[in-house]
Structure 1
Amino acid sequence: MPETSIIIRSFNEAEYIGDVLEAVEQQEYRDFEIILVDSGSTDGTLEISEEYVDETEFIAPQNFTFGYSCNVGCEAASGEFVSFLSAHAIPTDDQWLGTMIENLYEGDVVMTYSNQVGAEETKFSERRLFNELFPEERKRQTGPDYWANNAGSAIKKELWEEHQFDEYLTGHEDIEWAKHFIDWGYTVVYEPDACVYHIHDETWEQVFNRFEREAIADVEIGIKSPSDRWREYLSTPTDILGDTIAALREGSINIKTFSNIVKFRYNQHMGTASGLQSERDLSRPVRILL
């Protein structure tokens, strides 16, 4: 029985999943199995994955939610630890998994999550956002710092058995899970020495939708409120200005870069503001398509 089960959730991820799985195969820490949770891929993802994965679990696209797919993977996992890795998040070196798992040997640590950086194709503003969300310093988090991210993370399965991922959130199932245990006195560790290239190949509409659904979830979790939308309105010009100055200092500013800065920050903050004031019926379970 492996010590760790790696759960990779996929839906039409053929562009990057081969690189992801090859990077996993190169890990120095070897005591793991790989479980793919797929929700209807038709682009060759399954064919690329079959030589790497130990087990594939299938869920219907109409049943997909982030929490549900995590729970399906955890139910299939045989390891003491469960690691989550996005199908478009590529470990940057062969120490990624082992460095994260080391943190779980500490008795009070329930979850650890890795650093994230942009790849060559990452939008300028998102690269800056990664730097803000994933700093250079290791953190042992307690409330009210509930941030966590399942693009690259690891948890103790025995604690998942006590509290599973919320299957009806529109995002941030990782934060809800971390908050539950932090509020019970456990610790979440941010491990900057474990790192992935997290690649979001999105249209501007998809950027807006991502931040909108995450904000809807944040209100449900209780870490944000509708009144926080005013901060988003104010942050839009501030972040555009900050990104533009940073691009000027780097010598990378041009019309395309500036246009992308404006579009990214607008969709980030307006999507968040829209989600914060969503009129979704919070008592009614909703699942979304991937």
Structure 2
Amino acid sequence: MARRTAAEADVSVTLLTYNAGPLLARVLKAIHEQETARRFEIVAVDSGSTDGTLAVLAQYDAHVTEIPQREFDFGLTRDLVFEESSGRVVVCLSQDAVPAHERWLDSLVAPLDDPAIAASCGRSVPDPDRAYAQFVWERNGLFYFTREMRAFVAKYGRGLSNANSAVRREVWERLRFGAQPIGEDFRFQTKLSAAGLAIAFPDGAEVLHHHAYTLRSLYKRCRNEGLGLRALDCAYGGKDLLHDCANRTVWRAWARELVRGNLRAPASLLFPIVRPSAVFVGSALARGYLR
């Protein structure tokens, strides 16, 4: 389906892009191939791409706003792409999240036809065509084993992810994301909770999306998550660190994965120590985010 003009859009599919690489064309092609009666537009904010990302966005008739990389902030840039869009429903999609099938958009947006639902969030599933394998601790469901995430889920429920979500525009206009260097989706979820607004997690709204990590990128992500969750009253202290480093469930999984030959990469092998240690540094010691 071709992009509609802003005045005609029912749904805005928004992306925050930066050197998205060849995968972006797959993402945009999958959006255009959606089988839906809903009129939609594609809107992106790009923060200084130099790899041809802008040309690919133009090829798929996306409306693009450019900002310097130094100005990027997940919360404020997310607000900007919402401002540049026009649909009564705004979809957030990661630049490397490929809609899994032609009914993805309808499945993601349909729950918002219920006025009691403020936001919707679809699952991410492994991409069989990706050049790199899914991180083993993501695949086995233990990536977020640490206590700060369990505290968040206990307070707010299953986590909202802007890798694949939809928000009613009128709700965003009331709450907005605000300045948030990382974890703007979790902060927005706390605002939804405080306002008594519901999130749907529909089946059938999957995207193909997974990660791989080096030791450096794993440490950076976990440290930043610790800092972000501290700001949401989910702090992580020394007792949490000691408890999680001795988590028997995680170490049993580590032993199984080791026997299967799945821990060859340093990030995978050292994950049970790196994640809690990095979260602790972010939550207890850090003063700013790593970029």
Q: TM-score range by the shorter chain?
A: 0.7 to 0.9
User: Which structure shows the higher strand fraction?
Assistant: 1
The amino acid that maps onto 1:52 is: Y
Give matches, 1:78-227, under 5 Å.
Answer: 78-120=86-128, 121-129=133-141, 144-145=156-157, 147-167=159-179, 169-226=180-237
Query: Which runs of structure 1 show a deviation greater than 4 angstroms over 4 or more consecutive aligned residues?
Result: 130-133, 255-260, 286-289
1:234 matched residue in structure 2: 246
Other structure's SS at 1:21 match? helix
Q: CA deviation at 1:118?
A: 2.2
CA contact (8 A) 1:170 1:216 kept: no
Structure 1 Cα separation of the partners of residues 289 and 138 of structure 2: 27
Larger displacement relative to structure 2 (260-269 or 103-112) = 260-269
Residue 16 of structure 1 pairs with residue 23 of structure 2:
yes
Task: Give the structure-2-normalised TM-score.
Answer: 0.83
CA contact (8 A) 2:235 2:284 kept: no
Evaluate the alpha carbon distance shift between residue 67 and residue 215 of structure 1 in structure 2; reply closer, same or farther with a 3 A threshold: same
Please list the CA deviations of residues 153-176 of structure 1 after superposition, one character each: whole Å capped at 9, or x if unmatched: 000111111111021x23211111
Structure 2 Cα separation of the partners of residues 77 and 287 of structure 1: 28
Evaluate the alpha carbon distance shift between residue 161 and residue 108 of structure 1 in structure 2; reply closer, same or farther with a 3 A threshold: same
Q: CA deviation at 1:226?
A: 3.3
Evaluate the alpha carbon distance shift between residue 266 and residue 132 of structure 1 in structure 2; reply closer, same or farther with a 3 A threshold: closer
Please list the CA deviations of residues 61-80 of structure 1 after superposition, one character each: whole Å capped at 9, or x if unmatched: 11111111111100011100
Task: Give the structure-1-normalised TM-score.
Answer: 0.84
The amino acid that maps onto 1:65 is: D
Aligned-residue CA RMSD in angstroms? 2.6
Q: Structure 1: which 5+ residue stretches go unaligned?
A: 134-140, 281-285
Evaluate the alpha carbon distance shift between residue 288 and residue 275 of structure 1 in structure 2; reply closer, same or farther with a 3 A threshold: closer
Other structure's SS at 2:49 match? coil
Structure 2 Cα separation of the partners of residues 18 and 211 of structure 1: 29
Residue 69 of structure 1 pairs with residue 77 of structure 2:
yes
Residue 275 of structure 1 pairs with residue 282 of structure 2:
yes
Other structure's SS at 1:162 match? helix
CA contact (8 A) 2:121 2:201 kept: yes
The amino acid that maps onto 1:80 is: R
Q: CA deviation at 1:287?
A: 7.6
The amino acid that maps onto 2:252 is: L
CA contact (8 A) 1:39 1:61 kept: yes
Structure 1 Cα separation of the partners of residues 244 and 176 of structure 2: 31
Please list the CA deviations of residues 45-89 of structure 1 after superposition, one character each: whole Å capped at 9, or x if unmatched: 111221114300111111111111111100011100000000011
CA contact (8 A) 1:122 1:199 kept: yes
Structure 2 Cα separation of the partners of residues 98 and 88 of structure 1: 20
Q: CA deviation at 1:245?
A: 2.2
Q: CA deviation at 1:147?
A: 1.6
Structure 2 Cα separation of the partners of residues 247 and 23 of structure 1: 37
Evaluate the alpha carbon distance shift between residue 268 and residue 132 of structure 1 in structure 2; reply closer, same or farther with a 3 A threshold: closer
Identity %: 23
Residue 31 of structure 1 pairs with residue 42 of structure 2:
no
Q: CA deviation at 1:41?
A: 0.5
CA contact (8 A) 2:215 2:267 kept: no
Please list the CA deviations of residues 186-224 of structure 1 after superposition, one character each: whole Å capped at 9, or x if unmatched: 101122321112132442211111121111111102234
Residue 42 of structure 1 pairs with residue 50 of structure 2:
yes
